[in-house]
Amino acid sequence: MVAILRQNWWTLALRGVIAIIFGICAFIWPIATALAFVILLAAFAFVEGVFAFIGAFSWGLSGSQRLLLIALGLLGLAVGVAAVMYPGITAVVIVALVAWWAIVSGVIQFVVAIELRKVIENDWLLVVGALLSILFGVLLLWRPLAGILTLSWLFGIYALLYGIMMLSLGFRVKSLRPIPL
C-alpha cells in the first residue's frame, strides 16, 4: 500500500494546489465567488431538469416511471429558475448545503485518516484537514444568515488551509519508505 501511495503522491499535492488557487480566488473576488455558487446551482438544477425530461420521453419507460422523471424534471427546472429569480434565498440555502457537505465530507475524511494512520505513522495532516472541513461546516450552520459573502471568505480560508494540508500530505507521502514487517 505504501508503494501505491508513494506512486500517487502527486494527486494529493495537485488537490492541495487546486484548493489553494480556489482559496486565493475567493479572497480576490468574493462577490464573484458568491455569485458563482448561485449560478452553478441554477445551471446544474436546470440541466438536470432538462435531462430528466429527455429521459422521461425517450427511454421507453412505463407510465409511473415516466411521471417520476417528469416530476424530477419539473423540480430541476423550478430550482434552476428560482435560483436565478431569487438569488438571496438561494444563497442562504447554498450556505446550508455547503455546511452539511463540509461536515459529512469531514467526517468521512476523518474515518479515512484513522485508517491511513495504520499505514502512515504519526500522520496528522489528513486529520487536521478533516477537522477543518467539520469546523468550516459548523461555522456556516452557526451563522447561516451571515450570508453568501461570508461563505466566500470562509471558503477562501478553508480552501487555503485545506490546500496547504493536502499539499503537505502529498510531499509527506512522496517521501514514505516501506514499513518493515
Q: Where are the domains of the chain?
A: 2-174
pLDDT in tens, 26-71: 999 988 888 887 888 789 889 999 998 898 888 777 888 889 989 9
List the grid coordinates of 64: 409511473
Q: How many secondary structure helices (H) and strands (E) does the chain include?
A: 7, 0
Strand, coil or helix: 75: helix
CA nearest neighbour of 84 among 40, 37, 42? 42
Model confidence at 160, pLDDT cuts 50, 70, 90, reads: very high
**More confident: 116 or 52:** 52
Q: Is the pLDDT of residue 13 over 80?
A: yes
pTM attached to this predicted model: 0.58
Residue 124, φ and ψ in degrees, nearest 5: -125, -5
CB contact at 8 A, 119 and 81: no
Rounded distance, CA 55 to CA 70, Å?
Answer: 9
Give the lowest-confidence range in 123-132, 140-149, 167-176. Answer: 140-149
Task: From residue 101, give the alpha-carbon distance in Å to each of 11, 16, 40, 141, 180.
Answer: 22, 18, 16, 11, 38
- What confidence score (pLDDT) does residue 107 get? 93
